[in-house]
Structure 1
Amino acid sequence: MHHYKGLVKPYVLWSFLLIALPLVLIVLYSITTGDNSLLTIHLTLDNFKKISDPVYLSVFMKSLEMGLITTVICLVLAYPMAFFISKFNEEAQSILILLVTIPMWINTLLRTYAWISLLSDNGIVNSLLKAIGLNPVNMMYTNFSVLMGLICDLLPFMVIPIHTSLAKMDYSLVEAASDLGAGKIKTFTKVILKLSLPGVINGVTMVFLLSISSFVIPVLLGGHQFVLIGNLIENQFISVGDWNFGSAISVLLAIIILAMMGVMKRIDPDDNGGER
């Protein structure tokens, strides 16, 4: 037992240095002002009060809107895909899940630039439209282009947890429901959907939180006028240099994340998936 405790100590140390200490510093920056030296900092809540400015509130509302739309579309696309994959044997499922995850092996910047080549005014899509005699469509630097980038980037995060729940589901319950006279729709809503709910909740949580905090995709596909929470935090730290306000936004984002996780936990308090 003492031998295992010795092995744990380095992980505890690294967790403190890479996770706990940065979080403590962010919270400290968020409630202080000054030049951030220990002798001149002053406790204040002004950093949080600045968030009530209509400009920053609009950024938060826009982020939540884009996150919600992205999550809903990913769920609508991912559930049938995960359900379809779960119908194959284990070897085929592994191959299909591999195909789903392959895009994640490519750098996010490269994937985003690929969307630029597709959606730009002189890109592939508009070139095809011109070739068939249709007028080109302005797609870049719009909500549409940002949503396409977010959905493409985050769809695997929805497919994989849903597939995991469906793959480990006890299908004898589905057969029992059919034997008892339940139709396909009722069997799906009462048995399959309920047993896959943990995967749905995990996927929704991950996609929503990643979408509202994304900053590379909104900048490249939405233009610099398209600002979400992630862009706002990056701008405060990198461009403006206001670490205190940037930390306050980060703390508020962390609170939103914790609240989201709490809501999801209340929806599925057992979180046992198909083993219920």
Structure 2
Amino acid sequence: MKSKKALSPYLVWMILFTVVPMLLVLYFAFTDHSGAFTLKNLQQVGQYSNVFLRSIWQGALATVICLLLGYPLAYIIAHMKLKSQSAAVLLIMLPMWMNFLLRTYAWMTLLEDNGILNTMFAALGLPKVHMINTAGAVVLGMVYNYIPYMILPLYTVLTRIDTSVLEAAQDLGANRTQVFCRVTLPMSMPGVISGITMVFVPAVSTFIISKMLGGGSNLLIGDVVEMQFLGSAYNPNLGSAISLVLMLLIIICLGIMNQFDEGEEQEAVLL
């Protein structure tokens, strides 16, 4: 009885801020302006298929880059001394204490045609490079803003790996590469899956980064949703339908990733 009372605030919170918003999205997605049931909104989502593909591609690319950069860094931090680990984690979290918009504005200053980087290139006698308002700038902004969400779960999992297991593998004749591929990597897969989830979900649905660094020329699905709710093309019913389809696509992608995670766990058990 006490446990039910203790859970009640969390249940109320979930109902108010998760279930009710989801029901509202479903309602608007399947109704028109008059409130009548319709499938027209879902049919119109198909015209944004290219935007969906672009969003998934750029989100996936940013996630892969975050993984390739974040895993070695998390591995290095996990093998530092405790004081050094705390300092390194603090440095990774430090940019997150700054406002998200300010961080993105800083990249605009760096990447503009007359920005800091191109000024440096000109001083070195190098030609200017057009970087702002490109897909590369959008992916760069995603990587910069979301890479801490990849590093932190990886670091947490890697620090929990028992060093005696690694030593046992070395005693059995495995070299460093084999220890990493057959012991460390499988045991760190929960952190990999968590990091991918925490990066891919916000990256694929972002709209601020694409608006500020893409300049409107690299429209992502988050921008389309924002325009339906806040822009001149005000249509919350279509915006809700797009949001619903986006959520389903994200759930499918995460379900596929979880299948890989289960396969890795079974392989680790067999090893």
Which TM-score band (shorter chain)? over 0.9
**Letter paired with 2:239:** G
CA–CA distance in structure 2, aligned partners of residues 84 and 248 of structure 1: 44
Does the Cα contact within 8 Å between 2:59 and 2:139 map onto a contact in 1? Answer: no
Alignment of 1:106 onto 2:98: yes
Shift of 1:68: 1.3
What 5-or-longer segments of structure 2 have no aligned partner?
none
> What is the SS of the residue equivalent to 1:32?
coil
* Cα deviations by residue, 1:213-267 (Å, 9 ceiling, x for unpaired): 0110100000022211111111111112211110011111111122122122212
Provide the residue aligned with 2:132 in structure 1: 140
Q: 1:266 aligns to what? A: 259
Which amino acid in 2 is paired with 1:262?
G
Among 143, 154, 157, which residue is 2:146 paired with? 154
Answer whether contact 1:26 1:247 (CA < 8 A) is retained. yes
SS at 1:253 equivalent: helix
Matched letter for residue 194 of structure 2: N
Task: Give aligned-pair identity as a percent.
Answer: 40
Question: 4+ residue stretches of structure 1 with deviation over 6 A?
Answer: none
Spell out, residue by residue over 1:91-143, the C-alpha distance to the aligned partner (whole angstroms, 9 max, x if none). Answer: 32122111111111111110011001111011110010000111111111001
User: Would the alpha carbon gap of residues 216 and 48 (structure 1) be closer, same or farther in structure 2, given more than 3 Å must change?
Assistant: same
Q: Which residue of 2 aligns with 1:75?
A: 67
TM-score, normalised to structure 2, is 0.93
Distance 1:271 1:187, change over 3 A: closer
CA distance in 2 between counterparts of 1:271 and 1:181 reads 23
After superposition, where does 1:81-230 map in structure 2 within 5 Å? 81-230=73-222
The residue number in structure 2 matching 1:31 is 30
AA in 1 matched with 2:45:
I
The alignment yields a C-alpha RMSD, in angstroms, of 1.7
Deviation at 1:7, TM superposition (A): 4.2
Note the C-alpha offset of 1:270: 8.6
Q: Which runs of 5+ in 1 are unaligned?
A: 36-40
The one-letter amino acid paired with 1:189 is C
2:225 corresponds in structure 1 to 233
Q: C-alpha offsets along residues 60-104 of structure 1, whole Å, 9 cap, x if unaligned?
A: 011011011101111110001000000013332122111111111
Q: Is the 8 A contact 1:115 1:149 kept in 2?
A: yes
Q: 1:50 is aligned with what amino acid?
A: Q
The equivalent residue for 1:38 is none
The C-alpha deviation readout for 1:13-56, integer Å capped at 9, x for no partner, is 23211111011010111111133xxxxx2222211111212xx1
